[in-house]
Chain A
Amino acid sequence: MAAEMPVRCSVIVESRPSALGPSCREILAALEAKGFTPDDIFAVHLALEEAFLNAVKHGNRMDPTKKVVIDYTVDQEKIEICMTDEGPGFDPRRIPDPRVGENLYRPEGRGLLLIRAYMHNVEYSERGNSLRMVRCKSQPVPKG
């Protein structure tokens, strides 16, 4: 019965790239406990890391006085993550496509593309400082 109850949590994380570790481990453990596949766990892990780096670097601009708030809910069917920084926000439509032309050879700018590729639903708040992303649980591949 307890395994069917959704896991809900809200954490406040410092604006350091390495600060995500403990929260990330908790989220991935919750996914494993709910029977998400290794591919799901890889996808959520990657999206979390990319979203957090964006929040810390581009949102809070590494300001140690600013925090990132991560709210997440994991149930039997999906994980929903909402990540909010204290930055001014941005317009995701203005981020150039890193797969096109000279952008392909730029060392940065692939985080949002990967988040969109690995999560099933990705949306930003109007201000652009809060990201909501959802991934639905995959069906496990039958063995044999």
Chain B
Amino acid sequence: MAAIQPRITVEYRNEATIIAFTDERILEDTDVRALREAVEAVVEQAPRIHLVLDFRHVRFLSSAVLGLLIRISKRVYEQEGELRLCNIHPGIYEVFKITRLTNVFGIYEDVESAAQSFSARQ
């Protein structure tokens, strides 16, 4: 497991890449930009990535993070990859529900179920 500037950790499990956000609060533009750069660096190196974003540590986020997820999602799909989210705290899940992003992202209870949800690669 590699730690990148304590913002994310990256773990590889079978064919899935698991990125966990390590900050408890993700608020400021600088945090969001740093996260975007860190995640996109991983995505750029892996066309057709099966990416799981793990929110287990996150207890608070702003709408800027939702924008970040939309951007990451676009980049992943441009590269013919797939994206899943997991371990979202109930308070934050409510934010996804209010904004109807539950219709946009595949959200799973934990890393295992998220990783198992990917379609088999040809």
Chain A residues in the interface with B (C-beta under 8 A): 17-18, 39, 42, 45-46, 49-50, 53, 98-99, 104-108, 110-111, 113-114, 117
Contacts and interface: CB of A to CB of B under 8 A. Distances in A.
7 A-B pairs with least C-beta separation: A107-B67, A110-B63, A99-B100, A107-B70, A117-B98, A111-B63, A49-B62
A49 B99 CA distance: 16
A97 B70 CA distance: 16
B95 A114 contact: yes
Chain A interface mostly: helix
Contacts, number: 49
Given A39-B91, A106-B70, 12 more contacts: A50-B62, A53-B62, A99-B100, A104-B103, A106-B67, A107-B66, A108-B63, A110-B63, A110-B67, A114-B63, A114-B99, A117-B98
A104 B64 contact: no
Contacts of B70: 105-107
B99 A113 contact: yes
Interface in B86-122: 91, 95, 98-101, 103-104
Contacts of A42: 60, 91
Nearest to A98: B99
Contacts of A104: 100-101, 103-104
Chain B interface mostly: helix
B107 to A, nearest CB: 15
A107 B99 contact: no
24 contacts: A17-B29, A18-B30, A42-B60, A42-B91, A46-B60, A46-B62, A49-B27, A50-B63, A53-B62, A98-B99, A99-B100, A104-B100, A104-B101, A104-B104, A105-B70, A105-B74, A106-B67, A108-B63, A110-B63, A110-B66, A110-B99, A111-B63, A114-B99, A117-B98
Nearest to A100: B100
A18 B68 contact: no
A3 to B, nearest CB: 26
Contacts of B95: 46, 114
Contacts of A98: 99
Given A50-B62, A108-B67, A113 B98 contact: yes
A108 B104 CA distance: 15
A50 B31 CA distance: 15
Contacts of B100: 99, 104
